[in-house]
Amino acid sequence: MKLDRNIYVQRRKALLESLDKGSILVLPAATEKVRNRDCEYAYRQDSDFWYLTGFGEPEAVLVLAPGREEGESILFCRKRDRDMEIWHGRRAGQEGAVKEYGFDQAFTINELDEQMPGLLDKRTTVYHTPNADKAFDQKLWGWIDTLRMKERRGSVPPEQVLDRDKLLHTLRLIKTPAEQAIMREAGEISARAHTRAMKECKPGAMEYQLEAAIHHEFAMSGARYPAYTTIVGSGENACILHYTENESELKDGDLVLIDAGCELDYYAADITRTFPVNGKFTEEQKAIYNVVLDAQLASIAEIAPGKPLDAFHKAAVDKLVDGLLELGLLSGKKEKLIEEEAYRAFYMHGTGHWIGMDVHDVGHHKEDGEPVTLQPGMTLTVEPGIYVSPDNMDVEERWRGIGVRIEDDILVTETGNEVLTKDVVKTVEDIEALMA
């Protein structure tokens, strides 16, 4: 399922062709992050870097220099080193970078300071986005300074640094059929994990035990890591939007909200399901759940090519407000409640986001000041919710502490949309039947 190595070569080639001859693009790999003392967090390559290289090692820098005779596509990476490889793992080395990864030329990472001023010399524009790696930014300004100091000897430093992200993120916004296939599989695996959590859930278990079942299912399906920190929030914990403690006991009579998705070959899935710990919804839980489900279905129906990006959020809000009025959680005139955003007491987040290599994926939201028009190949989540704060004294007690979110991943197709995460049930009847 992994993307073919050639795809990365082609992406670099296409980008090089679109770059002005007087420009250069630089992109450092993600840095390793210390967790505590000698232990590092599992390394995850930067998504932009992976998008253009398929190269998973840290301590690397990609340089694209259009028109350069010795080679336009250059990788700086770690030198092969028998001792280091025995202790820390394999390295492709410079030969591997050229032979296996298709770079025109490769240098060791230790040669950066020596090579970079020469590569930057006489390039008017540098494509780089500062701030992600401040140490690298410092180096870059240093190389530019070196050229300034040598101006009298014929060096010409760059005149401007332009946003590299914008260039790459426009490309990443549309997923090719090969990318869609990976995302479809990530959706299927994640759906299977949610299904298993529903089947295995029992009062008395711990939230982190459901988390473990989900991660086990990911791994057994070929996806080693979750795409983001898994949320298992039972009872009132479901009302904490980014709850990741996952340390409470699952209680009979409570709902549990699980927001979890795997990462498969660098692509994310993002699913939320909310279900009763004991397998049976109470009347209040069911009433709120069905409002959220109605909103989600109406929202998904707004995802099709040609539709503006904001339509699906509006559709969700419209249905949520209808439901909140019906349940007596809000009162007043619908139009006014929407205009004044009174629903924010119960629904305080957006209805979705782009999804791709990053769970909150890159890509612009506006074009010439207007919401982006949806196009085939775009992928986004739809995730409305209702969260009744346990200390909301404006509502009857029976509603307090109920939190529900339902989230799926949607691909915009030629004719409408495809729900990539459809394999996990979401109606009250289907959830109760599965858990019975």
Choosing from 309, 359, 395, 412, the residue that interacts with ligand GLY (CB under 6 A) is 359
Give the shortest CB-380-to-ligand GLY separation in angstroms: 11
Is 81 catalytic? The answer is no
Distance CA 317, CA 304 (A): 18
Residues 270-289 touching ligand GLY, rule: CB under 6 A, are 270
Closer CB to Mn ion, residue 361 or residue 407? Answer: 407
Task: Supply φ then ψ for residue 195, to 5 degrees.
Answer: -60, -45
Residues linked to residue 34 through DSSP beta bridges, in sequence order: 40
Closer CB to ligand GLY, residue 258 or residue 315? Answer: 258
259 binds ligand GLY (CB under 6 A): yes
Question: Look-up: residue for tokens 């690397």?
Answer: 60
Is 405 catalytic? The answer is yes
Contacts of 169 (CB under 8 A, 6+ apart): 48, 362, 363, 364
Total Cβ atoms within 10 A of residue 304 = 18
Residues 319-338 touching ligand GLY, rule: CB under 6 A, are none
Residues 187-246 touching ligand GLY, rule: CB under 6 A, are 228
**424 alpha carbon, distance to own chain's centre:** 20
Q: Smallest Cα–Cα separation from 373: which of 324, 304, 316? A: 304
Is 40 catalytic? The answer is no
59 binds ligand GLY (CB under 6 A): no
Is 364 catalytic? The answer is no
Task: Supply φ then ψ for residue 255, to 5 degrees.
Answer: -90, 160
Angle at 373 between CA 372 and CA 375, to 5 degrees: 120
Is 387 catalytic? The answer is yes
- Enclosing H/E stretch for 366: strand 366-367
Give the shortest CB-72-to-ligand GLY separation in angstroms: 37
Give the shortest CB-227-to-ligand GLY separation in angstroms: 8
Choosing from 349, 400, 418, 432, the catalytic residue is 349
Alpha-carbon Rg for the chain in angstroms: 25
Choosing from 94, 190, 248, 381, the residue that interacts with Mn ion (CB under 5 A) is 381
Residues linked to residue 232 through DSSP beta bridges, in sequence order: 258
Residues 406-435 touching ligand GLY, rule: CB under 6 A, are 407
Instruction: Note the residues at the interface with Mn ion (CB under 5 A).
Output: 259, 270, 381, 407
> What residue ranges bind ligand GLY (CB under 6 A)?
228, 259, 270, 353, 359, 383, 407
